[in-house]
Each structure stands twice: as C-alpha cells, then as structure tokens.
Structure 1
Amino acid sequence: MRRGVQLIVGLVAYGIAIALLVRGGIGVPPWDVFAQGITRQTGIPFGLVVNVVGALVLLLWIPLRQRPGVGTVLNVLLIGPSAELGLWLVPQQTVPWQQAVVFAGGLALLALATGAYIGARLGPGPRDGLMTGIHARTGWPIWVVRTGIEVTVLAVGFVLGGQLGVGTLAFALLIGPMVNVTLPLLRVPERPAAPIAVKEVPA
C-alpha cells in the first residue's frame, strides 16, 4: 500500500516540480529543454509532449531488453498531466528574486519527488531505464551514457527553442547530491525473507 501511494504522490509532485522550474524562467533540465523546444515548434501542450516523449523513450527499451514496471508506465501517464496542472496554477515569473525562489522550490520538490518514486521500487522511469539499458548492452560507464544522452537532448532542445539558462547548469550540478539525500530517506525497505522452518528429527 505504501509503495503505491508513494509512487503516485512522487510522480504527481515530479510533474508539479517541472512546472515550477519552467515558471522560474531561468532554465530547465535537459529533457525539459527538449520538450519545450518541441512545444515551441509544434504548438503541442508541454505536458502532452512530456507524455509522448516518455512513451517513445519507452519503445527504445525493446531492443535494449529492458522490462518496465508499473512505476514505469505510471511515470509516462502521470508526469505530463501533473506538469500541465502546475503550469496552470503557477504564473510565469519575471522578477529575478521571485524567479530564483520558484526555481529553488521546484528543484527541492523534484529531488523529493525523485526519491519518492524511485524509492517505491516499482520500476524506473523511461529515461532512467534507457540509461541503464544502454549501459548494460554496451558496458559504457553510467556517467558516460547519462552525459551523452542529456547533452544530445539538450542540444536538440536548444536548437528547437527550449529554455537554456543558469537554472539548467544549477540542475546539473545539484540534483545528483540532492537525490543522494532524499532517496535513502524515502526508499521503502525490502521485506526480510521469511525464515525457513526446520523440522526437528527425533533422536
């Protein structure tokens, strides 16, 4: 029960966090730069683009022989609508100190949300699974794979008109250490294996 609730709350909070980063107006994470670029070129709502990109990334799992969990599927379905809700609730910020506050709040919420949905242990997100799948198939170090993926989507998103700024750099530097704190706190512990009953043999 706790795992399911934590997963859903984490994914919804993740979408709201993305909206806060966008509304901060000082730069967004690489995948969101990519989504913004597609939105600006096509007019498709940002949240729907997030959903579609997640689904397309999930298709890339097939040749990598990755198996999705329920958390993977819900990741694709919930983050986009949650981001749209956040964009509807939070106005665009233009005053520098307000931009910084909104961005910082989004970054903190995203770190908590990441710890929550990963800590539920019900399946990785599509982008995380792509990273680990490429690592497993090629043997390349995780950091090389992640950097390569994120630099690629960042460059494409920027060319398409996505929002690249100081917030993008701040995200890249801070999100890892922040999740390193939230994940152990929110990780649902695994149940210990039931002891095996041993029958006594009469002497």
Structure 2
Amino acid sequence: MSWNFLRRVVQLLAGVFLYGFAIAMMIRAGMGVSPWDVLSQGTSLQSGLPFGLVTNLIGLGVLLLWIPLRQRPGAGTVVNALAVGPSAEVGLALLEPQTAPAGQIAMFSGGLVLLAVATGLYIGARMGPGPRDGLMTGAHARFGWPVWAVRTGVEVTVLAAGWLLGGSMGIGTVAFAMLVGPLVNRTLPLLDVRTDRPTASAGRAG
C-alpha cells in the first residue's frame, strides 16, 4: 500500500467525519443551516426519524438519481453517503444548543470554517464526489446545463421543501450560501492530493 493511497483514505475518512460534525455545530448554533440540511431537518421533524438517518437516506436517494445521469460512484461517494449522518449525530450528542448571540455566532462560524476544511479534505482525497455534488456535475455532463444553474435550481428547490417541512432557515443559511464557496476555494488547494486522475468538481459535500 503506497503512502499516497493511505493518505487519501485517511483524509477521506477524516473529511467526512468532520463534515458531519460541522453540520451539527451549525445546527446547534440555531442560526440556520445549508439548504440540504434544512431539508433533512424538516424531514426529520415530520417523520420522527433522527437527523443523521434522514441525512443518509436523502444521500442514498440522491444516488438513485445518478442512474439516469450515467454517473458512477467512487469509494468516497459511498463513504460520504453512509458516514456523514452518523458523524452529525455524534456532534449533536456532544454539543449543547446555543442561545446567547455571541455563542451562536461563534458556534456557527466555527462550524462553517470546519465544514470548509472538511470539504477540502474529502474532495482533495480524489476518491469520488459526494452524492449531491455528483448530481449537479452529472446533470451538467448529461444535458449540458451549466453547473451553477443546476446547483441553484436544486438548492432552491430543496430549501423551499425543507422550509415547508419545518426546517431551520435563517441568516446562517444566507451566510452559508455566500461564504462556503470562497472558503472551500481556499482549503481545497491546500489539501488536494496529487494523483494522475482528474479531480472531482468542488461543491457541497454530501
């Protein structure tokens, strides 16, 4: 086993775990979360299922949409779909909800920065995109639609659905949309593992 491959595996696992933990931090901040997490929250509230399980089920459901898009999952795709939910549950069990504004801002900011680092780790491992990233890049490859248009359309749709189901949408949702891209653009070059394979497109992990 080469050092490069071992590093990629460790980086993938660390990135996926930290991604879920970062989601839990933003939930506990109580300022709003990403569009996909609003959907998971709303579905969890309506179904009574744990947030982490719902996150996994949505990820697996998104993977089914890869079939008509002719996308092939990598090892990282499967790990992402199965592990982000449990790691989010770990974070939710360990972290207390924040009610004071200073605590909310600190918790949300820490979660957002950690999520950007985690995204750089798991995408930089180059072992396959997350289910949601692959949906967007797959639609682009299959139909020629611009990635930004697909991403916007999908995330507006899931945000609206999650909000109607009772998910938490707030200023943190807006901050996430505005800041996550620039932050990941900083972390990904630092954590990218050089291989001979083409890199996956950067985007929301998960």
TM-score class normalised by the smaller sequence:
over 0.9
2:145 to 140, 143, 154: 140
Structure 2: which amino acid aligns with 1:44? L
- TM-score after normalising by structure 1: 0.93
The share of aligned pairs that are identical, in percent, is 65
CA–CA distance in structure 2, aligned partners of residues 24 and 138 of structure 1: 39
In the TM superposition, structure 1's runs of 4+ consecutive aligned residues that sit over 4 Å from their partners are: none
Deviation digits for residues 22-80 of structure 1 (CA, Å, limit 9, x no counterpart) = 00000000000000000110110000000000000001100100000000000011100
Aligned residue number for residue 105 of structure 1: 110
CA–CA distance in structure 2, aligned partners of residues 21 and 63 of structure 1: 33
1:22 to 15, 23, 27: 27
Matched, 1:51 2:56: yes
Structure 1: which amino acid aligns with 2:47? T
CA–CA distance in structure 2, aligned partners of residues 161 and 112 of structure 1: 29
Equivalences, count: 192
> Helix, strand or coil for the counterpart of 2:25?
helix
Aligned residue number for residue 46 of structure 2: 41
Q: How do 1:37-116 residues align onto structure 2 when only pairs under 5 Å count?
A: 37-116=42-121
CA–CA distance in structure 2, aligned partners of residues 97 and 4 of structure 1: 37
CA–CA distance in structure 2, aligned partners of residues 138 and 158 of structure 1: 29
CA–CA distance in structure 2, aligned partners of residues 70 and 137 of structure 1: 22
Aligned residue number for residue 119 of structure 1: 124
Structure 1 residue 190, shift from structure 2 partner: 1.5
Aligned residue number for residue 170 of structure 2: 165
Structure 1: which amino acid aligns with 2:60? A
CA–CA distance in structure 2, aligned partners of residues 130 and 187 of structure 1: 22
- TM-score after normalising by structure 2: 0.92
Q: CA RMSD in A?
A: 0.9
CA–CA distance in structure 2, aligned partners of residues 177 and 147 of structure 1: 16
Structure 1: which amino acid aligns with 2:189? P
1:2 to 7, 18, 36: 7
> Mind listing any 5+ residue stretches in structure 1 that lack a counterpart?
193-203
Which is greater in Rg? 1
> Mind listing any 5+ residue stretches in structure 2 that lack a counterpart?
1-5, 198-206
